[in-house]
Amino acid sequence: MADLNNLISPFFLNDKEIRKVIELLFFSYRDFTSGPDKILEKLNFGRAHHRVIYFVGKKKNITIKELLGVLKITKQSLSRVLNQLVNERFIIVSTGIDKRTKKLSLTQKGEDLENQLSTIQIDKIKKVINKFSEENINGFKEILYDMIETDNKKIFQQIND
């Protein structure tokens, strides 16, 4: 049955080729995050700090709850990371109209770091993108989007208004 499945599958989606996709995702994702990791290390930050900085930069005045919804971690986990970023003046907190909520924004220092980190990844993507057609790039994005679970697709849409 599995063999039959392989026979009727076009080459580009037989199991052997699909396993390559698994590996490509693993290696490419690892290399994609390694650049920022090096910069963060000097500041004694980790990838968790990067994610917070990224999404606070993306959505100004994001609340704790919204941020937790994007990151899908517990507030206890966020707490340590966020407190460090606030204490070291990368992020500034203000109170929302609903006084229970807090709004997070990057300071200038935070924006500078965000820029430094994102530039590495943006440049990496630009370099790659220049070698491919618009069709390829759009296909790439659509495939990635398709791989996201429904709930997270909504979150992706939300942070992109």
Partner DNA sequence: TTATTTAGGTCAGCCATATTGACTTAATTA
Partner DNA sequence: TAATTAAGTCAATATGGCTGACCTAAATAA
Q: Which residues here bind DNA, judged by CB under 7 A?
A: 44-49, 51, 63-66, 68, 72-77, 79-83, 93, 96-102
Strand 102-106 and strand 62-63: the pairing is antiparallel
Q: Name the residue nearer to DNA (CB basis): 19 or 80.
A: 80
Q: Which residues of the chain form contacts with a second copy (CB under 8 A)?
A: 10, 12-13, 15, 18-32, 34, 51, 54, 58, 72, 118, 121-122, 124-126, 128-149, 152-153, 155-156, 159-160
Q: Name the residue nearer to a second copy (CB basis): 98 or 135.
A: 135
Q: Which does 87 bind (CB under 5 to 8 A by kind): a second copy, DNA, none?
A: none
Q: Could you give the maximum distance between any two Cα atoms of the chain, in Å? A: 62
Beta strands of the chain (E only): which ranges? 62-63, 91-95, 102-106
Q: Which token pair is 52?
A: 């917070």
Q: Which token pair is 143?
A: 């495939």
Q: Which token pair is 5?
A: 């499945």
